[in-house]
Amino acid sequence: MLDFRADLHCHSTYSDGTATPQEIIEMACQKGLQGLCMTDHDTIAAYQEAGPYAEAKGLSLISGVEFSAVHKGASVHILAYSFPLQSPLIIDFCHQHHQRRLVRNQAILDRLSAHNMPLTLEEVHPQALNSQASMGRPHIALAMLKKSYVTTIQQAFHDYIGEGKSCYEPGYTFSVEETLDLIHRAKGLAVIAHPHLIDNTALLRDLLTMPFDGIEGYYARFAKSEQERWVKIGQHRGWLVTGGSDFHGAIKPSLPLGCSWTAEETFKRMLAHFKQHSMH
Ligand code: AMP
Ligand code: FE
Ligand code: FE
Ligand code: ZN
């Protein structure tokens, strides 16, 4: 049997992943993972299916979500873990993100239309108006590909919908500070997602002074030498050092489930926190 592995970062069909929660749990069991967390973008809808299914399979599941935030104009992803799934604060915040996404997505589609690339919300996502689903730019990129407006998803981001490009719209946003405050009021743990991808040193410096509880030191398929820096930063602060694959299924085939993981001791602490706060 493998050493203990818990993948604490993956995306289901409730956001921009291509596998359903049940399929992800099946995959996790096949790969011999003992712990898992679904971190869809700005929604916890996967847990309605995932909770009972993981329990039946004997897989330890903790609550999670990947919140989108902005600091001084830069996009920041914040992983929230171990909050009670019934938390009205988290549920309401996810609803606010859904509203934000609807307005923002429509603004992007309006811009695409003005650039002779018309698309409707329904063409992009059949469940666009369903508050359970988190529709995002990857869905828009895929729809652009289907309509032959671009030849690759990368091109859609690079030429049109990437940050600062001609059809990009940030819409209204939530700050890192208010997101951290919300997570803590909801009795959750806040973790800096994939610091490996942050190339803005001023942003990184600011984030490292904020009241996070952890950092995603082990991420995707980065080499051990590239993980070390983040692991050390986390250890130095006494933070949780988490790990996860950022699995998205077929849309990002280079990142298999379980390619990065969280160690047993860290996962047990997060599981204990989840259980303790979920009982009240
Ligand atoms: P959204 O949350 O709707 O603004 O979409 C952000 C998501 O788009 C990120 O989580 C990435 O998965 C994806 N993304 C952002 N930039 C790119 C890019 N240049 N190429 C491919 N995917 C991207
Ligand atoms: Fe994503
Ligand atoms: Fe992310
Ligand atoms: Zn992610």
| Tens digits of residue pLDDT in 111-164 | 999 999 999 999 999 999 988 899 999 999 999 999 999 999 999 999 999 999
pLDDT at 119: 97
Q: Indicate which atom in ligand 1 lies nearest the CA of residue 66.
A: 10
Q: Please say whether the beta carbons of 47 and 239 come within 8 A.
A: no
> How deeply is 204 buried, as exposed, middle or buried, from its count of CB atoms within 10 A (0-12, 13-18, 19+)?
middle
For atom 5 of ligand 1, the residue with the nearest CA is 137
The pLDDT value given to residue 3? 87
Q: Span 27-56, mean pLDDT?
A: 97
Q: Whose CA is nearest to atom 2 of ligand 1?
A: 136
Residue whose CA lies nearest to ligand 1 atom number 15: 162
pLDDT in the model for residue 42: 98
Report which bound ligand comes closest to the CA of 77.
Answer: 3
Instruction: Grade residue 170 by pLDDT with cuts at 50, 70 and 90.
Output: very high
Q: Quote helix, strand, coil % in the chain, to nearest 5.
A: 45, 15, 40
Single-letter amino acid, residue 51 = G
How many A from CA of 58 to the centre of ligand 4?
24
Residues near 4 by beta carbon (within 8 Å), at least 6 away in sequence: 34, 35, 263, 264, 267
Beta pairing class for 189-192 and 214-219: parallel
Q: For ligand 1, atom 3, which residue shows the shortest CA distance?
A: 136
- Gap from CA of 138 to ligand 2 centroid (Å): 7
Q: pLDDT tier at 239 (50, 70, 90 boundaries)?
A: very high
Ligand with minimal distance to 246 CA:
4
Residue 280: per-residue pLDDT: 62
Indicate which atom in ligand 1 lies nearest the CA of residue 42: 2
What's the gap in Å between 188 CA and the centre of ligand 1? Answer: 25
Residue 279: the pLDDT is 77
The predicted-structure confidence for 257-268, as pLDDT tens digits, reads as follows 999 999 999 999
DSSP states of 57-119: HT-EEE-EEEEEEEETTEEEEEEEES--TT-HHHHHHHHHHHHHHHHHHHHHHHHHHHTT---
Confidence of residue 84 (pLDDT cuts 50, 70, 90): very high
d(Cα 259, Cα 6) in Å, to the nearest integer?
10
Cα(161) to centroid of ligand 1, in Å? 9
CA of 139 to the centre of ligand 1 (A): 9
Per-residue pLDDT tens digits for 176-234: 999 999 999 999 999 999 999 999 999 999 999 999 999 999 999 999 899 999 999 99
CA nearest ligand 1 atom 6, residue: 137
> What pLDDT does 1 receive?
59
Q: Whose CA is nearest to atom 20 of ligand 1?
A: 154
Q: Which atom of ligand 1 is nearest to the CA of 77?
A: 10
| Across 14-18, average pLDDT | 97
pTM score of the predicted model: 0.97
Neighbours of 228 (CB within 10 A): 12
CA of 78 to the centre of ligand 1 (A): 14
Residues with CB under 6 A from ligand 1: 16, 41, 68, 136-138, 153-154, 157, 162
Q: Residue 18 and residue 40: Cα distance in Å, rounded?
A: 12
Closest ligand to 248 CA?
2
Residue nearest to atom 12 of ligand 1 (CA): 138
Q: What is the CA radius of gyration of the chain?
A: 18
